[in-house]
């Protein structure tokens, strides 16, 4: 079911506030907790932040495809493969946070200029089938909230694991 104007506005506000939530969660971490992994196959807070930067850059392209192209194909990816292949642990997390902030601001400015009639466009996601602008907004409106919470869970686990 497509978003009504009020729901869309709520998700746009969540999208707008996401970078500050992520940066705040990162700032709460002691330096020694930032690269700590809570378990086998789990991401460190550092890797979470870098994932968010990669995700944001791809999200910016996805929404533009949905808004501008006829029948766009939105290609999925394996975030765990990206984390390994692009060595997230060796990537500058401050640069990643800055990228999240800039890409979100640029995309938000774009979204604020599109007419209401642009919302509701649908393409196809390579992994999940039909995928529209509201699916995108729901996903990315929540995305940084989810990862800020993940960083806080990492911190709590790190604190419990300390002698």
Q: Are 57 and 99 in contact (CB under 8 A)?
A: yes
Residue 163 confidence (pLDDT) above 90: no
Structural domain of residue 78, as residue ranges? 5-161
User: What pLDDT is attached to residue 134?
Assistant: 96
73 DSSP 8-state letter: E
CATH number of the domain where residue 99 is located:
1.20.120.450
Structure tokens at 156: 């709590």
Q: Are 51 and 83 in contact (CB under 8 A)?
A: yes
For 1-38, give the DSSP string. Answer: -PPPHHHHHHHHHHHHHHHHHHHHHHHTS-GGGTT--S
Render pLDDT for 45-93 as a digit per residue (tens, 0 to 9): 999 999 999 999 999 999 999 999 999 999 999 999 999 999 999 999 9
Residue pLDDT, tens place only, 119-154: 999 999 999 999 999 999 999 999 999 999 999 999
- If one counts the domains in the chain, the total is 1
The pLDDT value recorded for residue 24 is 98
Order of strands across the sheet that contains 129-132: 73-74, 122-125, 129-132
Q: Are 55 and 101 in contact (CB under 8 A)?
A: no
Q: According to the model, what pLDDT value does residue 93 have?
A: 98
């Amino acid at each position: 079911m497509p978003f009504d104007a009020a729901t869309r506005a709520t998700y746009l506000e969540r999208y707008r506030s996401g970078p500050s939530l992520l940066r705040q969660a990162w700032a709460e971490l002691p330096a020694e907790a930032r690269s700590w992994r809570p378990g086998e196959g789990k991401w460190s807070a550092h890797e979470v932040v870098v994932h968010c930067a990669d995700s944001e850059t791809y999200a910016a392209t996805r929404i533009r495809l949905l808004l501008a192209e006829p029948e766009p194909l939105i290609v999925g990816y394996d975030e765990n493969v990206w984390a390994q292949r692009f060595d997230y642990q060796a990537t500058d997390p401050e640069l990643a946070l800055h990228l999240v902030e800039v890409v979100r601001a640029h995309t938000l400015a774009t979204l604020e200029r599109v007419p209401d009639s642009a919302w509701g466009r649908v393409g196809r996601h390579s992994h999940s089938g039909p995928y529209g602008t509201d699916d995108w907004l729901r996903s990315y409106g929540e995305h940084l909230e989810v990862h800020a919470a993940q960083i806080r869970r990492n911190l709590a686990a790190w604190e419990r694991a300390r002698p």
